[in-house]
């Protein structure tokens, strides 16, 4: 039984990757279990300068999920390289995914160039889809032209594979996907969170200080699955699928829709052992559904496969 998959030449022992923003820089979870069980991990979204994030409260509960508005809190790319990555490398021996945030094309390029030079980084994940910052992030991901511009600029500056993280907060996600593919993207990560909100009935005010935030968790899984399915039919580059994955069966379903690997996000915030449990449950799920090699099922739900 073979759980291995490959993303743009980077081999993963299994397709399960903690999603950026839900797993810190990895070493925090290494205190709980050996994180080398993971296929890879996407570390916390990194910007050029340190960011303290949005005002609190930043989290609101919803049925089957949560809304967050953290706002890319991180120590800045130089702080990540000097302090966070050495601690991660001490407990994780596999190539990682560097999630890159930005507020301008130049910032994306600057961060990506520095992270591209780190030997532990296997893939650069360019986040053009964060709904929790103003003047950057999602403003690039909702325009095919702007998304292509970021993609081209980063590709010219780096050597490692570039995956573009797409927002679901658009009318037609396939239009953005085609634009980044044509601009040279090596792959796509999708979906980021959906824009949502909660209102406190007693105070009659939004629960989150930023009013709105990114909605994630099992409640968005069917929507994420639909978008991955659509984008698989629209492009030829690999997809890392995410959005509400919390079980081994979700991994299989997302891969059948067209994902070559998956990321697990909100589930890590509910149970820090979520990724470990999913990976350990995969062999039994594969046996149940008569799957010998996970890589063989990618796109299996599409006509003609």
Task: Tell me the domains of the chain and their CATH numbers.
Answer: 5-297 (3.20.20.70)
* Residues designated catalytic: 130
Do residues 67 and 13 lie in contact, with contact meaning Cβ atoms separated by under 8 Å?
Answer: no
* pLDDT in the model for residue 139: 63
* pLDDT in the model for residue 304: 60
Do residues 227 and 203 lie in contact, with contact meaning Cβ atoms separated by under 8 Å?
Answer: no
Residues facing residue 125 across a β-bridge: 99, 163
User: Distance between CA 129 and CA 190 in Å, rounded?
Assistant: 9
DSSP 8-state code for residue 81: I
Question: Of 70-79, 81-90, 261-270, where does mean pLDDT reach its minimum?
Answer: 70-79
Please provide residue 206's backbone torsions phi and psi, each rounded to the nearest 5 degrees: -55, 140
* Cα 305 to the center of its chain, rounded Å: 26
Collapse the DSSP code of 73 into the 3-class scheme (helix H, G, I; strand E, B; otherwise coil) and give the result.
coil
Residue 305: pLDDT over 60: no
211-244 pLDDT, tens digit each: 999 999 999 999 999 999 999 999 999 999 999 9
Burial of 143 (0-12, 13-18, 19+ CB in 10 A): middle
Mean pLDDT of the chain: 93
7-28 pLDDT, tens digit each: 999 999 999 999 998 999 999 9
* pLDDT in the model for residue 217: 95
Report residue 162 as tokens: 């570039």
Collapse the DSSP code of 117 into the 3-class scheme (helix H, G, I; strand E, B; otherwise coil) and give the result.
coil
* Helix-helix angle 274-288:248-257, to 10 degrees: 70
Residue 292: pLDDT over 60: yes
Please provide residue 232's backbone torsions phi and psi, each rounded to the nearest 5 degrees: -55, -35
Question: How many C-beta atoms surround the C-beta of residue 280 within 10 A?
Answer: 12
Residue-level length of the chain: 305
Three-state SS string over 132-188 comes to: CCCCCCHHHHCCHHHHHHHHHHHHHHCCCCEEEECCCCCCCHHHHHHHHHHCCCCEE
135-178 pLDDT, tens digit each: 445 567 788 998 999 999 999 999 999 999 999 989 999 999 99
177-190 pLDDT, tens digit each: 999 999 999 999 99
Q: 85 pLDDT band (50/70/90 cuts)?
A: very high
Please list, residue by residue across 35-55, b when 16 or more beta carbons sit within 10 angstroms of its beta carbon and e when fewer do: beebbbbbbbbbbbeebeebe
Question: Of 57-61, 123-127, 186-190, where does mean pLDDT reach its minimum?
Answer: 57-61
DSSP 8-state code for residue 84: I
Minimal CA–CA distance to 108: which of 155, 159, 178?
Answer: 155
Report residue 18 as tokens: 């903690």
Q: 132 pLDDT band (50/70/90 cuts)?
A: very low
DSSP 8-state code for residue 80: I
Residue 271: pLDDT over 60: yes
The answer to pTM > 0.85 is yes
What's the half-sphere exposure (Cβ side, CA atoms, 13 Å) at 122?
20
Residues facing residue 205 across a β-bridge: 200
């Amino acid at each position: 039984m073979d759980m291995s998959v490959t993303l743009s030449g980077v081999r993963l022992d299994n397709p399960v990757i903690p999603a950026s923003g839900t797993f810190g820089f990895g070493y925090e979870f290494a205190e709980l279990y050996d994180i080398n069980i993971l296929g890879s991990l996407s570390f916390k979204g990194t910007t050029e300068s340190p960011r303290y994030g949005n005002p609190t409260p930043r989290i609101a509960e919803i049925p089957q999920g949560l809304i967050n508005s953290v706002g890319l809190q991180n120590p800045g790319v130089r702080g990540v390289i000097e302090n966070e990555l050495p601690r991660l490398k001490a407990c994780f021996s596999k190539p990682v995914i560097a999630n890159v945030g930005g507020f301008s094309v130049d910032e994306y390029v600057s961060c990506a160039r520095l992270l591209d030079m780190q030997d532990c980084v296997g893939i650069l994940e360019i986040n053009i889809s964060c709904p929790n910052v103003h003047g950057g992030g999602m403003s690039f991901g909702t325009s095919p032209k702007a998304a292509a511009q970021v993609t081209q600029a980063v590709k010219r500056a780096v050597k490692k594979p570039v995956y573009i993280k797409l927002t679901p907060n658009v009318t037609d996600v396939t239009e953005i996907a085609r634009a980044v593919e044509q601009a040279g993207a090596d792959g796509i990560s999708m979906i980021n969170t959906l824009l949502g909100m909660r209102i406190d009935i007693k105070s009659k005010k939004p629960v989150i200080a930023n009013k709105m935030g990114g909605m994630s968790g099992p409640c968005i899984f069917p929507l994420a699955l639909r978008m991955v399915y659509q984008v698989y039919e629209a492009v030829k580059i690999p997809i890392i699928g995410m959005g509400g994955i919390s079980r081994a069966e979700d991994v299989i379903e997302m891969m059948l829709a067209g994902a070559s690997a998956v990321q697990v996000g909100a589930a890590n915030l509910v149970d820090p052992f979520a990724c470990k449990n999913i990976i350990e449950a995969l062999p039994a799920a594969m046996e149940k559904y008569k799957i010998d090699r996970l890589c063989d099922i990618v796109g299996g739900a599409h006509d003609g496969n």
